[in-house]
A and B are shown apart, each in its own frame.
Chain A
Amino acid sequence: MTVLDSKVPEGPIKDKWTNHKNKINVVNPANKRLIDVIVVGTGLAGGSAAASLAEMGYKVKSFCFQDSPRRAHSIAAQGGINAAKNYQNDGDSVYRLFYDTVKGGDYRGREANVYRLAEVSANIIDQCVAQGVPFAREYGGLLDNRSFGGVLVSRTFYARGQTGQQLLLGAYAAMNRQIGKGKIQMYNRHEMMDLVIVDGKARGIIARNLVTGEIERHSAHAVVIASGGYGNVFFLSTNAMGSNVSAAWKIHKKGAFFANPCYTQIHPTCIPRSGDYQSKLTLMSESLRNDGRIWVPKKMEDVEAIRSGKLKPTQIKEEDRDYYLERRYPAFGNLVPRDVASRAAKERCDAGFGVNETGEAVYLDFASAIQRYGKEKALVDGVKNPSKEQIIEFGEQVVEAKYGNLFQMYEKIVAQNPYKTPMMIYPAVHYTMGGVWVDYNLMTTIPGCYAAGEANFSDHGANRLGASALMQGLADGYFVLPYTIGDFLANDIRTGAIPTDSSEFEEAEKAVRERLDFFINNKGTKSVDHFHKRLGKVMWDKVGMSRNEQGLKEAIEEIRQIREEFWKEVTVPGGTNELNPELEKAGRVADFLELGELFAKDALDRNESCGGHFREESVELDGEQKGEAKRDDENFAYVAAWEWSGDPSTSNLHKEQLEFNDIELKQRSYK
């Protein structure tokens, strides 16, 4: 256990970050010019880190596999970004944001990190506005806020349904400024293939130029991994097609511990799967649950009639509908947190009440909202005794003003008009709270190797609140890492450039080449996607929303089998010295196949239900909370950090005990 030192500073929680910044080493500006830093990934965390480090004077090399940093998947975040600004004067504060985040994470995050996140959140908004991010504003010209899932204040800043895009373009612009100045050397369409460790420190990476296939050596005094989450281990998720675990997995295999891999967020409101060819799932913003009511039919014959097309959902009578969230959780109703809503949908569909051909969909119905808003608007507009049609027309106008773009997006994909017929939704993998273990400085267990954003595990515990991912990515990149990395680099001012002709680089490059050649020469019988889909199915069925010991053990076994078959039977067309998307995918899926097993192993080890991790063995057995998730603070209030030892089956578990000094541990109740 001695290996895991979280390096949380001493002192009261509100002074920790300030004191820490005052005490850590700083590199003087002249020396920064002599120091190289590699940043892998250009999303909110990587992009903001690269820009900030370059502004400070470091020589930065930045890598992304897409054709531009602007395409990183942070771009797809819709809802907003939290910040404790208290502009709405509703009693928000750093402490309240801190409290909500720790509680939302089901008390499995590290207090000190979360407090720091809340502390710097206000700076993020200031910084983004200065960069020209066009946040939504009120008529008086000041910034607008909205409220978001499960909190009591309005602290979410947003830019229509494209907040992630606008924030990322802000960071991208900051990067561009530094690229133009030559302070950042940008490597687009480059994939990190391995980490190079020299004398125990992270000193560079091996990268592949995805256009030419060239294998390149890049050295640096520190390496930052900001490569996002690993939701694509499920094959189907709301992640981008290229999102992958490989950068994080490579450093894991070189010594960085991987924490809480089983903590996955499954988002309740996504567009359901339509067939086996499906390549990804699309998220519909959580905000829809403010006005939509979720239901399935009560009677099985209605379900069958709907599936066969004999009945339309609008023909099901009110008394024959099961508004199961309102039934089970009268206090929060349709606004229960994401994990609870997702599990409830799965429960109904598993019981056979799913309303589409695949049996995996529930309705999200706006008819009552349209009625309610229609009557309100008629009253406001002075229409006396409005007709039914008028009410519907008015109601649809109001709903369109609130959710128009989302309704349009739904119609584009499903080809159904959600104003007239209820939407169909189903949960989908969305975000991974687990990731590379880092200390308070965001350094991994490899000296000089850092992890930021979704790639690390640090802030969201077992469940992430809405609008907190953007906050964490930018906090890490703009305000945390640029300071903490200096503490390590201060020792490197006399090191000079790291040579790339050392045996360490040589060996790493050789291993990379061997693996690539293996894929090309294997000439198996099945495509990469074949294995990825099979892995995804096992993960979803047995390591998905609800997990039990038997299923997890089976999953571990099945994943191992798929992995063995993959290495025997995979086929990759084309060559290594060209743009070869299949070759890229092969490497990523190989890593997912290892991660998947560790994921299941971690889920098996954590015999409690917390946040996004639900173990069927750990539920409340009686009382008001019967059947709900049961956390076990006595035995599981720790971070599970796994150390690689050659195979996922033999990975060693290290525990970082979580201490809660400023927040009292309570059960989350939404009844």
Chain B
Amino acid sequence: MKLTLKVWRQKDSKAKGQIESYQLDDVSSHMSFLEMMDVLNEKLISEGKEPVAFDHDCREGICGMCSMYINGQPHGPDSGTTTCQLHMRSFKDGDTIYIEPWRSAAFPVVKDLVVDRSSFERIQQAGGFISVNTSGNTQDANAIPVPKADADKAFDAATCIGCGACVAACKNASAMLFVSAKVSQFALLPQGKIEAKDRVQNMVAQMDKEGFGACTNTGACEAECPKGISLENIARLNREYIAASLTSDEH
């Protein structure tokens, strides 16, 4: 099929970018979206032009690296998929496809479609862990039974791949779904409860510092999350935060 691609091109973080138009004449519907981008880049290289920079790695929907805002939706039109899992059969011959980077003050563009998500890193560093050292003397893994329902919910939250689609989709560029997933995973497990108060307060403080917006409970994040992380996690985050604010000894 033939496609017109409107791609955001930006030399580096300081440059002013613009949308540029490219034609591709021979796209197979079996291709993945990123393979279509590979074809575009091969074409650009053969024409002596600079290929489009975009983040990608595992190409099987788990590393969270790929991050394209396609025709008004993070990761494109299919639900429950990352950009790399999107296939060209979701498009029609003659379509015009707009491809933009994630837009958020906390995700500055590095180049073309590549953004800097180190704000997510700093949020995790502020408290996205359980403070336990590596040791061969940790108590036996079965010493504390965990109700299956809690373990399953913790797992559901833990499946977050940190891609940032939630931020990209949110009208406020809020990172609440991302933060809530990590806070929820640990809040649901007995091992994580010990430092739950500090964790939630530190992670939220860092989230605010990074310049993400607040949550209007629109649910766009949940709809676009390739892993289907639920808004219930945001409610849990709110609950944890309120409880921590009311009862913690510090902060």
Contacts and interface: CB of A to CB of B under 8 A. Distances in A.
Real binding pair? yes
Interface of A: 48, 51-52, 55, 66-68, 70-71, 73, 75-76, 85, 87, 120, 123, 125-132, 134-143, 159-160, 162, 165-166, 169, 172-174, 176-177, 179-180, 186, 188, 211, 238, 240-242, 274-275, 277-280, 282-283, 409, 412-413, 415, 478-479, 482, 527, 529, 571, 573-574, 578-582
Nearest to A171: B134
Contacts of A240: 57-59, 63
Interface stretch (B119-127, B171-179, B214-222): B119-127
A123 B129 contact: no
Contacts of A579: 12, 53, 110-111, 114
Contacts of B78: 412
A176 B151 contact: no
Given A132-B189, A142-B142, A578-B111, A67 B130 contact: no
Across the A-B interface, the 8 shortest Cβ-Cβ residue pairs: A141-B145, A173-B129, A180-B125, A134-B155, A129-B141, A134-B154, A126-B138, A52-B134
Contacts of A279: 32, 34-35, 38, 59
Contact of B133 (A55, A277, A571, A581): A55
Nearest to A280: B59
A166 B45 contact: no
21 contacts: A68-B121, A73-B57, A75-B64, A76-B62, A76-B63, A130-B138, A131-B129, A134-B185, A137-B146, A141-B145, A238-B60, A275-B28, A277-B31, A282-B59, A413-B87, A415-B87, A573-B44, A578-B11, A579-B110, A579-B114, A581-B51
B21 interface: no
A48 B134 CA distance: 9
Interface string B79-100: 0010001010100000000000
Nearest to A276: B28
Given A132-B192, A165-B62, 19 more contacts: A71-B63, A75-B63, A75-B161, A127-B138, A130-B139, A132-B185, A134-B155, A169-B158, A173-B129, A173-B130, A176-B125, A211-B111, A211-B116, A274-B30, A275-B30, A275-B31, A415-B87, A478-B134, A582-B45
Q: Determine which residue in B46, B125, B161 has the highest number of CB atoms from chain A within 10 A of its CB, and name it.
A: B125
A527 B130 contact: no
A671 to B, nearest CB: 35
A282 B35 CA distance: 14
A136 B132 contact: no
B135 interface: yes
B57 A242 contact: yes
Contacts of B32: 279, 413
Contacts of B85: 412-413
Contacts of B128: 173, 176
Contacts of A73: 57-58, 63
Contact of A130 (B63, B65, B130): B130
Given A278-B35, A478-B134, A87 B139 contact: no
Interface residues of B, number: 77
Contacts of A48: 134
A141 B189 CA distance: 11
Contacts of A76: 58, 60, 62-63
Interface in B140-190: 140-142, 145-148, 151-152, 154-155, 158-159, 161-162, 185-186, 189
B191 A573 contact: no
Contacts of A160: 155
B118 interface: yes
Contact of B38 (A139, A162, A277): A277
Interface of B: 11-12, 28, 30-32, 34-35, 38-39, 42, 44-46, 48-51, 53, 55-65, 78, 81, 85, 87, 89, 110-111, 114, 116-118, 120-121, 124-126, 128-136, 138-142, 145-148, 151-152, 154-155, 158-159, 161-162, 185-186, 189, 191-192
Contacts, number: 209
B145 A277 contact: no
B134 A141 contact: no
Residue with the highest number of chain A CB atoms closer than 10 Å, among B11, B35, B58, B117: B58
A137 B85 CA distance: 29
Given A73-B57, A277-B28, A120 B136 contact: yes
Contacts of B124: 172-173, 176
The CB with the most chain B CB atoms within 10 A, among A162, A176, A574, is that of A176
Contacts of A529: 38, 42
Contacts of A140: 145
A574 B148 CA distance: 53
B142 A123 contact: no
Given A141-B146, A143-B141, A413-B87, A277 B39 contact: yes
B86 to A, nearest CB: 9
B60 A282 contact: yes
Contacts of A179: 121, 125
Given A75-B63, A141-B146, A166 B117 contact: no
Nearest to A71: B63
Nearest to A123: B136
Contacts of A186: 121
A71 B65 contact: yes
B62 to A, nearest CB: 5
Contacts of A66: 57, 63, 65
Contacts of A51: 134
Contacts of A134: 151-152, 154-155, 158, 185, 189
Given A142-B142, A277-B28, A529-B42, A162 B51 contact: no
